[in-house]
Chains A and B, each alone.
Chain A
Amino acid sequence: MATQQTRSLARFMMAPSVVLLFVWMIVPLAFTLWFSFQQYNPLNPMRDGFVGFSNYALFYSNPAFLQSILNTLTIVVSVLVITVVGGILLAMLIDQPMWGQGIVRILVISPFFVMPPVAALVWKNMIMHPQYGVFADIARFFGLQPIDWFGQYPLTAIIIIVAWQWLPFATLILLTSLQSLDGEQKEAAEMDGAGFLSRFWYLTLPHMSRAITVVILIQTIFLLSVYAEILVTTNGGPGYASTNLPFLVYQKALLEFKIGQASAGGVIAVILANIVAFFAMRAVGKNLDK
């Protein structure tokens, strides 16, 4: 049905999006790649020039580098485990018949709409503050010593905050998937005498598997680049205890003006994201064909 005319029209209509995204992807990335092989310091331009792989070597030999990679992965994996397991349980709970289900849903989904700086500040000051936070109030109530979250367990504190932001997302998507589960199938399984656990294992979980995949993949994209939460709470510290890769790159680039090293770090971040993206695209692409 498509004539030559509509086909060229289609191309014309697609052009702005494609060109914009192409430029937006290629130009800055080319710059980053270029800078990653350069000595470049806006404050001290005397020694600028091509330096081969030494930026990568410097970035790699920085003790903060390995720590930041480790922290990045710890954040991603911990938050994924908390949100997926918590999300499944929560979705199954909300899916039960109850009074005020709509309101429960609204309450549960709310943290997702809170902008990251607000979420981080609220948790930092009002919940986890070692003196005035609610956690400290609770600890004192039980006669315990309040915990200095951001001093003693900075990474755990950040994981808790980020998990709080993403648990609603996981719950909402898993709940949507759960609600599309055929009621009759459930009933049939029940009549056949399948217990709760076997129903969960053989019916519910397989049904949710696609939603779980999607949740894991999408969250991973966002969790790899957690930034505002760290900036507002620990600023990467104490030391590098809560510095992840994005934060380290930001520090190198805009605080220390070590552009070459920051760019090398950026390239490493791209490679890391690409590995994840490879799997993500395959899964999402498969779902397209259904």
Chain B
Amino acid sequence: MARAVTTQHKTIATAAAWIVALLIFFPILYTIITSFKSEQEAIQGFNLIPSGTFESYSEVQAQSGYFKFFLNSVLLSVGSTILALLVAIPAAWSMAFSPTKRTKDILMWMLSTKMMPAVAVLFPIYLIFRNLGLLDSRIGLMVMLMLINLPIVVWMLYTYFREIPGEILEAARMDGASLWNEIIYVLTPMAVPGIASTMLLNIILAWNEAFWTIRLTTTNAAPLTAFISSFSSPQGLFWAKLSAASTLAIAPILIMGWFSQKQLVRGLTFGAVK
């Protein structure tokens, strides 16, 4: 931008933005700080400098087997994402490269399934899961998360695939490439970035899903969302431990999220805002 920016203007903007940003980030920051306090310190009033103990972290693991929930979260989010990609890639591919008159309607219809409120089907799903013996099973929940995010995955892949120029495919076809070769050698290399972005966003969404993961699990398949929710009942003052558990639960996804800001915009607005 060619506009002359005065240092004064820049200084004011910087100060204002940093203050607001730190205020918004504060609950997270304070949680991280508190996780390094002892339980005593944690309730002794406002204090930004912890004693730096790792006590809470080891206790979270020792008392509640934190690692199992973490592992479930990883398994469920990655597993459901891979399942969704397996189902969605062919669909998005065909919609992007051999669109028909109905392609748009199908896409819109897929999106509409996303708008069904989860509570409306809570009991039937509960019943189906119970009768199939899928309650508290990782497979069941994985399929569930896959279905929830499938519309977004198809949509995102579709918007990425659509940007791959069709002429390249035609050129490959002219050169006598079979469909299989076309997919492997021409399409895949160009599609990988889009698929990776989609995967990243979907893992974030699946990791943070907090309705089905809480309602359909008890102990075995329970991921971090269910584990953290279990902290809500007791009035006990275990804030350092709560903070440590929270920090561990959000850290991986926070870091992934920082890298996926662009894809987030695109994925969650169905390509309408880029």
Alpha-carbon gap, A221 to B118, bound state (A): 11
Kindly supply a per-residue 1/0 record for chain B positions 241-267, scoring 1 wherever the CB is within 8 Å of any chain A CB and 0 otherwise. Answer: 011001001100110111001101100
Knowing A224-B117, A267-B120, A287-B272 are in contact, say whether A13-B28 is a contact too (CB < 8 A): no
Q: Which residues of B contact A (CB under 8 A)?
A: 1-3, 5, 9-10, 13-14, 16-18, 20-22, 24-25, 27-28, 30-31, 34, 43, 45-46, 87-88, 90-91, 93-95, 97-98, 100, 104, 106-108, 110-128, 147, 150-151, 154, 170, 179, 204, 207-208, 210-211, 214-215, 224-225, 228-229, 231-232, 237, 239, 242-243, 246, 249-250, 253-254, 256-258, 261-262, 264-265, 268-274
A10 touches B94 (CB 8 A): yes
Residue of A nearest to B239 (CB): A125
Knowing A113-B250, A115-B224, A164-B24 are in contact, say whether A231-B232 is a contact too (CB < 8 A): yes
Which residues of A in the span 84-136 have a Cβ within 8 Å of any Cβ on B?
90, 93-94, 96-101, 103-127, 132, 134
B14 touches A13 (CB 8 A): no
Which of A25, A134, A214, A221 is close to B30, meaning CB atoms less than 8 Å apart?
A134
B3 touches A187 (CB 8 A): yes
A111 touches B211 (CB 8 A): no
B246 touches A118 (CB 8 A): yes
A-B contact pairs, 18 of them (CB 8 A): A9-B98, A16-B90, A21-B110, A24-B147, A28-B120, A31-B128, A35-B123, A93-B13, A97-B10, A101-B17, A103-B21, A114-B254, A121-B228, A132-B237, A214-B272, A221-B115, A232-B229, A253-B123
Alpha-carbon gap, A233 to B107, bound state (A): 37
Alpha-carbon gap, A204 to B218, bound state (A): 50
Alpha-carbon gap, A186 to B2, bound state (A): 11
B254 touches A121 (CB 8 A): no
B27 touches A262 (CB 8 A): no
Tell me the minimal C-beta distance from B177 to chain A in angstroms: 14
Residues of B within 8 A of A183 (CB): 1-3
The reply to whether the CB of A277 lies closer than 8 angstroms to some CB of chain B is: yes
The residue in B90, B112, B122, B150 that gathers the most chain A C-beta atoms within 10 A of its C-beta is B122
User: Which segment, of A51-59, A74-82, A151-159, A166-174, faces chain B?
Assistant: A166-174
